[in-house]
Structure formats: C-alpha cells, structure tokens
Structure 1
Amino acid sequence: MKIHQNAKKRPGFPLRASLPVIGIVLLALAAIFVLRDGGSPTIKLSPQTGAASYTTEFSLDLSAGKSGLKECSVVAAQDGKRVELLRESFSDKRPAHAAAFRLPREAGFKEGSVELSVIVRSNAMLSFLGRGKASLVQQITLDFTPPRLSVTPGVHNVNQGGGAAVSYTVSKPVESTGVMVGSHLFPGYQQPDGRYLCYFAMPHDMQPSQFKPKVIARDKAGNEATQNVSVLAIPKPFKADKLNIPDEFLNSKMPQYTALYPSETSPLEIYKRVNTELRDKNVTELLKIGKDTSPTPLWSGPFLRLPNAASRAGFGDQRDYFYQGEKIDHQTHMGVDLASVANAPVPAANSGRVVLAEFFGIYGNCVIIDHGLGLQSLYSHLDEMSVTKGTQVKKGDIIGKTGTTGLAGGDHLHFGMIIGGLQVNPVEWWDDHWIKDNILEHTGK
C-alpha cells in the first residue's frame, strides 16, 4: 500500500492571512488620529454688515476642538497695503478663543473696499492633510462719513408723562434712527416722501430738568450723528392714592394667578408677587409689543373715549397699597380707569391693527391696537374680547366688553396709550386741539 506524504505548507500563507487584520488595525489607528484631531478649525467673524469705520469693533470666535488652537492672525489689505490687525499664539492648546479688534486710524486706510483675511492653525497631527488650518476672507467697505440730520424747526411743549412728535431728514441710509430719551430709543420711521417721523415721550418718572431728547442716526458702518430737539418740558403733579386690599378681593382675584406661583399658598403673598413681579414682566412685554408696529400712521383725528363713562383712577396716580393697616406695596397707575354700565361695549379708540388679544398678566383680558409709528392703545379687564391678533379695526368698531378680569376690583375699562412701548397719558390723545398742536404741526401726519 502506497503511503502519501503530508503536503508541504505553501510559503507566504500566514502573511496573506494577516493582511486583513493589519488593514483593520491601520484603519483603526487612522480613525483614532482623526477623532483625536477633530475637524478643521472654525472661524466666525462679525459684524456681517459689510460696512465698517474706525469705530467698528470686530469680534472673532475661533474653535479647534480636541486638537486645540495653535495661532491666528488677521490682516487688512487695500491697494497693495497690508496691515496686521491681530496675531496670537496659544501655548495652552485651548479649544476655543474669542478676540476683538478694530482698524487702527494710523493705518491710513481710505474710504472704499478693504479685504480682511483671517488664518487659524490648530495642533492637528494630520496637518499635512490640511486639517490643521482654516482661512476666511471677507470684503468690507470703509465709510468714515456720518449721516447729516435736518430736524424740522420748532419748540415742542411736552408734558411730564406725555407725548410729542418730530420729523426730520437723513442724508444717507441708516441702520437705526429715532429720538433718544435717557437710555430709551423711540424709533423713527421713514415715510414714502423720504422724511422720518418719530413719536416720543417724557417718562412720567423723569424730572423735566432731565428731559433732553435728541435725534440720532447711525449708519451701517457705525458712524453716528445727533441733534437736540428743542423742548419746553412741563412738570405735572400726580395724585397720591391709598388702596386697602381686603381679603374678599384677594380670595376672589388670586385664583387667576395661583398657577404662576405654585410655591405660594397665601393669597396675600401671591398678590404681592403679582403686583410687583408680574407687573414688571408686563412692562417689559409692552416694550416688545411696541416694536410690532406699522411704519406709517394708521389713525386720524382724536381718539375715542369709552362713551358715557366716568373717570375713576387717573394716569400717574401714586398708589400705596395697604393690608390690615400695613403698607405692602407702592405702584404707579399707568392709564385711566373708565366706569360705565357692566359689560359696556368697548369701541376701538382709533383705526389700526390688533397686536394682542389675550389674558395679559395684571390687565386680565386685554386688547392692544397698533396705530403706527409705535403708537398703541390698550384696553384691559375685559369680560369679552371680540377681536383676535391681526384683526384690522376702524375707529368705533366694538372690540369687546368691560369686565373685572385681572386686578380689577369692579367692572370698568382700564384704558392706556403707549408710545414705543412706554405708557403715556391717554388724556392728551382724546384732545383734538392737543393733537393738532403737538403731533400734526410737527409731522404733517
């Protein structure tokens, strides 16, 4: 019988068998390097307006992930001139960095186009693959010429807590403009004829000696022009009032607000927070709502007053609140309370667009109508609302019925007027003579 010998192993077989394993290991190592390096650095440069001046502050936000930042530079170039604006190195390999820079006046750049170049390098191990570098090139237009303002002449008689209006022209397109009173900007709105119209006010809590309104205009490059408005500031005394808060009121009204303050179990403690915290929140929200406005006037003639209604509380009343003989709060009443019959129909005081129709904090069921240029009217404590946000209304249209929602102690309408989100004295806007002398004479609108 013939015996077969074992076949010899073919040379190289183990190497070929291990090749897939080696490939997997190499891929794994590559993946580790990639993950460790992260992506390429990222660059965010602002502002993005495309216009700049020597006052423009540019902000640079850099990120390099796990590999960390190594260095960055910013260079401005114009007509062959190159000026380095920023250069930083990072020995700590930080993952992110924020920097700011401006164009130096001594660089002597001219008005016109300038190229900004940003280069960022990271500590990426795979930098030879281009992963460790990022660049950004942005064209900007240098503009060193401020706008020119021309304000319609005339002296404005402005009551403390009252409104006013001004018209003016600006020589070039602007990023923002209006009348600055203290730290509050009342926006100006450009009209079809090119003029800007602006309604502004003297806050009720500003002393007339401090009321120094000025028109401002700021272009996209940050150049700014200002011009004072000639005013005669008229002080107004405000009534002092004391309000006693009975338990009956607290027990009937505070259930509306229990869900807002679940940690409070006492109606009195809920009331204290509503009358302060929620009131302040509503004031802030009115500033936001004031921006939802038409750039042209929607109203004409004097504003309507609730028919056959007696005035109760007035604008600017200084209220001290007492509970069981102890003073618990102080607030200012920012509208006029008008009392008629229960559930009296409430007319829109003038034509406009409804910008709010909902339960609104201390005001309860509330409707706010925009009349253009930041001028708005407010109707609160309503029992019913017959309009919704976005509804176009005409002067005299019924928008709801009076009621007792919110912090109302009895059936009435709390009526308010608002300019640029700031509440002003409504009485002025019921007066046709005041409107002609203080609004139309200065704006022609």
Structure 2
Amino acid sequence: MLKKLSPGLKALAALIVLVLAVTGMRLTALDREPPRIEIMALSRTVKNGGCAAVVIHLAEENPGVIRLFDSAGGVFFPAVFRTNSYYLCLFACPAAESNYSLWVIASDTEGNCVTNKIPVVFEYVDYPKGRVELKGGFGNDKLAEMGLPESGLTGTNLYAYVQSCFLAKTAADPLKLSLGPVPAIRGDFRFPVFLPLAKPVVTSGFGKTREYYFKCKKMKQSTHYGVDMIGTLHDTVLFSAAGEVVFAGYNGGWGNTAIVGHGYGLYTLYAHCSEVTVTNKQAVFPGESAGYTGATGEVEGEHLHFGVMVQGVWTDGAEWMNPEWVERQINSVLGKASAMITARTVQ
C-alpha cells in the first residue's frame, strides 16, 4: 500500500506511527484536545537546493513529538528555541525537486495529534548542465594517493578502476552524518556568514549536473552539491562557526575532508584538502583552520569544495556565504520570534 503513496505521505504515515509509539497509543485518554500549533516566524521562500527557517509555538501542557515533513519524503527535527514550547527548525528542499510542500505534525502525551501545512513559498531553480573533458588524471598518481599499488591498466580501464577504488575508500557518507535530533537553543542566537577562504574566487557553483568524458567516452554523470573555490596555493581553510568535527580524514573521491556539525541540523564540509589539521570530535571555533586547499580525491586541479547540509539535504553553500541572504532568510526569522517570545515573557 505504501508503494502507492507519495514520499510526503509516506513520511506522514511513518511519523504518525512514531507519534503513537512514543505516546503509548493511549487513545482512550480523557484529554481529547489536540495541541495548538502557531507559526510564529517563517522564511518567505525556499528554492530547490535551498534552506529556510521556521519558529513554531506548540501550545500544549504535555507535549509529545513534534516533527516537520515534506513532499520529498524528508523529516526534520526541530530544536527547543529559547524556552520550552517554542521550536526552531531549519529545513531544506532537495535540488532535484520541481515543487515543494511542508507540514508540521505534533502530539501530546495522551496520543492526540495535529498536522498543519507550513505556508512557505517554493521558488524553482533550473540548474545548468555541462560537460567536463578529463585531461588524463585519476591514474596511478591517485592510486598512490590512496596507498594502493599501480594496477597495470591504461586508458578508460584505469579510470574505471580508480573510480572503484575511490568508492572503496569512502569512509563516511556526509548526508548520513547530518541526520538526527538537534540540541536545544537557549538564549538569543544568530547564524554566521560562512567564508571558507579569506579571499575566495568561486569557480563552480551548486546544482550543476555534469557529464564526465575521458577520451571521448562518457565515464559518469553527477550533480555538484557544493561550491568550488580557489585562493592562494595551499590556502588556509577557515571555520566560520563553532562546532564539532564529525569526520576528519581521507574520504575517497572527496579526498582529505573535514565535516563539522554546528548544531541545529547545520553541517559544513571541506573537501579535496592537501591536509586536514583537525581530528574527530574536536571542538572548533570561528577563525580556526580546518586545513589547506589541495587536489586530493576525484579532482584534477587544486581547489576547495565547500558543502552545506541541513538534516540530510545538500543546500547551496553560496547562500550561506551571502550576508544579505543569511540575514533575510535565517536571522530575521529568529529575531522576529525572539522579540515575540520576549514580549510574552514580560507580560
């Protein structure tokens, strides 16, 4: 039966099962009043490949579960914002979506549930497509980079073999690392603007689907879920926000990589480094170094691949590098909700 449902309805069905399980399925409870949901502040729009924020007030003395789910099948975990009964959630629309809807489902401990649609406006972006002519890299030099012996292969056979080695050397799936519950936010908070290099020059943007050819043969096709940039040779890669390293090391086609969780479901990735100078579970702070730009992994020239993930979805890192976007799309939502919460507390 579930096979006939859309991804969004599948997510709703799964969440209802979760809600009933958490609340103990106490359907005979005397309290039959469902929780009341108030959308306090919301980003006006979200694009495919974009991120937005919402602050929700759950008017319920005995709250149970609150989750957001979307038409793409995604499930997002809100975090308590400032004080109990108020929740902040970052959510993101996958780049491949051509339309988008979002809902919130909430329950109380008596098993009463309510679902409301969140009125965010979807803006579709038609990302470009392109062709990349490989110059002959991804050969024995990449095998040596991975600590492997020369294969004796040549041409497209060597390229295909190196690709399989990259896959075998992939130690972590970045999207899986960005899933799961997020911590509470106490007090006022503002998200930073990310600037991974001191003076970055962007060479390739987010969302482009690229076909890779080697000696006139198509080798693969992939979508670019990050922002490529260059600076000086072996430029210092910088953190712009505090967080904790969730992965540091060699990661197949990503090369030397650092992935940092900043809380609230937001993660950043720094790939193809010549060297990573942080370790797993290390606390990091703004202005500290993640490592140095390089050409490790599945690349032919030195650059930094900067990726941003929100609870299992790749989002456009160029937005997070734009001060106007961060203020309008994210921080103004938090500011509006904070002012409303403060006014209610004073009363």
Q: Which residue of 1 aligns with 2:14?
A: none
- CA gap of 1:395–1:48, structure 2 versus 1, over 3 A, is same
Q: Which residue of 1 aligns with 2:180?
A: 291
Q: Which residue of 2 aligns with 1:314?
A: 205
Q: What are the within-5 Å matches in structure 2 for residues 271-286 of structure 1?
A: 271-273=162-164, 283=173, 285-286=174-175
Q: What are the within-5 Å matches in structure 2 for residues 55-204 of structure 1?
A: 110-111=28-29, 145-152=33-40, 156-170=44-58, 171=60, 172-194=62-84, 195-204=86-95
1:294–1:371 contact (8 Å) kept in structure 2:
no
Deviation at 1:191, TM superposition (A): 2.5
Q: Which has the higher contact order (CA 8 A, sep 6+)?
A: 2
Match of 1:348 among 233, 239, 263: 239
CA distance in structure 2 between the aligned counterparts of 1:317 and 1:163, rounded to whole angstroms: 17
Q: In terms of Rg, which structure is larger? A: 1
Q: Are positions 1:241 and 2:130 aligned together?
A: yes
Which secondary structure state, in structure 2, belongs to the residue aligned with residue 161 of structure 1? Answer: coil
2:196–2:239 contact (8 Å) kept in structure 1:
no
CA distance in structure 2 between the aligned counterparts of 1:442 and 1:234, rounded to whole angstroms: 18
CA distance in structure 1 between the aligned counterparts of 2:266 and 2:21, rounded to whole angstroms: 32
- CA gap of 1:211–1:404, structure 2 versus 1, over 3 A, is same
CA distance in structure 2 between the aligned counterparts of 1:348 and 1:251, rounded to whole angstroms: 33
1:299–1:350 contact (8 Å) kept in structure 2:
no
Match of 2:311 among 411, 416, 420: 420
Deviation at 1:244, TM superposition (A): 2.2
CA distance in structure 2 between the aligned counterparts of 1:440 and 1:179, rounded to whole angstroms: 22
Which secondary structure state, in structure 2, belongs to the residue aligned with residue 433 of structure 1? Answer: helix
- CA gap of 1:271–1:229, structure 2 versus 1, over 3 A, is farther
Q: Are positions 1:432 and 2:323 aligned together?
A: yes
CA distance in structure 2 between the aligned counterparts of 1:163 and 1:188, rounded to whole angstroms: 14
Match of 1:389 among 280, 295, 315: 280
Deviation at 1:398, TM superposition (A): 1.3
Amino acid at match of 1:324: K
CA distance in structure 1 between the aligned counterparts of 2:212 and 2:53, rounded to whole angstroms: 35
1:242–1:320 contact (8 Å) kept in structure 2:
yes
Q: Which residue of 2 aligns with 1:86?
A: none
TM-score normalised by L of structure 1: 0.62
Amino acid at match of 1:267: L
CA distance in structure 2 between the aligned counterparts of 1:409 and 1:292, rounded to whole angstroms: 37
Q: Are positions 1:377 and 2:265 aligned together?
A: no
Q: Which residue of 2 aligns with 1:52?
A: 25
1:53–1:144 contact (8 Å) kept in structure 2:
no
TM-score normalised by L of structure 2: 0.78
1:257–1:270 contact (8 Å) kept in structure 2:
no
- CA gap of 1:332–1:254, structure 2 versus 1, over 3 A, is farther
- Percent sequence identity is 27
Amino acid at match of 1:167: V
Which secondary structure state, in structure 2, belongs to the residue aligned with residue 367 of structure 1? Answer: strand
CA distance in structure 2 between the aligned counterparts of 1:346 and 1:267, rounded to whole angstroms: 32
1:304–1:396 contact (8 Å) kept in structure 2:
no
- CA gap of 1:329–1:278, structure 2 versus 1, over 3 A, is farther
**Structure 2: 5+ residue runs without aligned partners?**
1-19, 339-347
Q: Which residue of 1 aligns with 2:101?
A: 212
CA distance in structure 1 between the aligned counterparts of 2:21 and 2:206, rounded to whole angstroms: 44
1:382–1:413 contact (8 Å) kept in structure 2:
yes
Match of 1:411 among 302, 317, 320: 302
Which secondary structure state, in structure 2, belongs to the residue aligned with residue 270 of structure 1? Answer: helix
CA distance in structure 1 between the aligned counterparts of 2:69 and 2:209, rounded to whole angstroms: 28
Q: Which residue of 2 aligns with 1:38?
A: none
Computed over aligned residues only, the root mean square deviation of the Cα atoms, in angstroms, reads 3.0
- CA gap of 1:324–1:330, structure 2 versus 1, over 3 A, is same
Deviation at 1:292, TM superposition (A): 7.3
2:178–2:265 contact (8 Å) kept in structure 1:
no
1:368–1:377 contact (8 Å) kept in structure 2:
yes
Deviation at 1:223, TM superposition (A): 4.2
CA distance in structure 2 between the aligned counterparts of 1:292 and 1:362, rounded to whole angstroms: 28
Paired positions, count:
307
- CA gap of 1:292–1:254, structure 2 versus 1, over 3 A, is farther
Amino acid at match of 1:175: V
CA distance in structure 1 between the aligned counterparts of 2:87 and 2:178, rounded to whole angstroms: 21
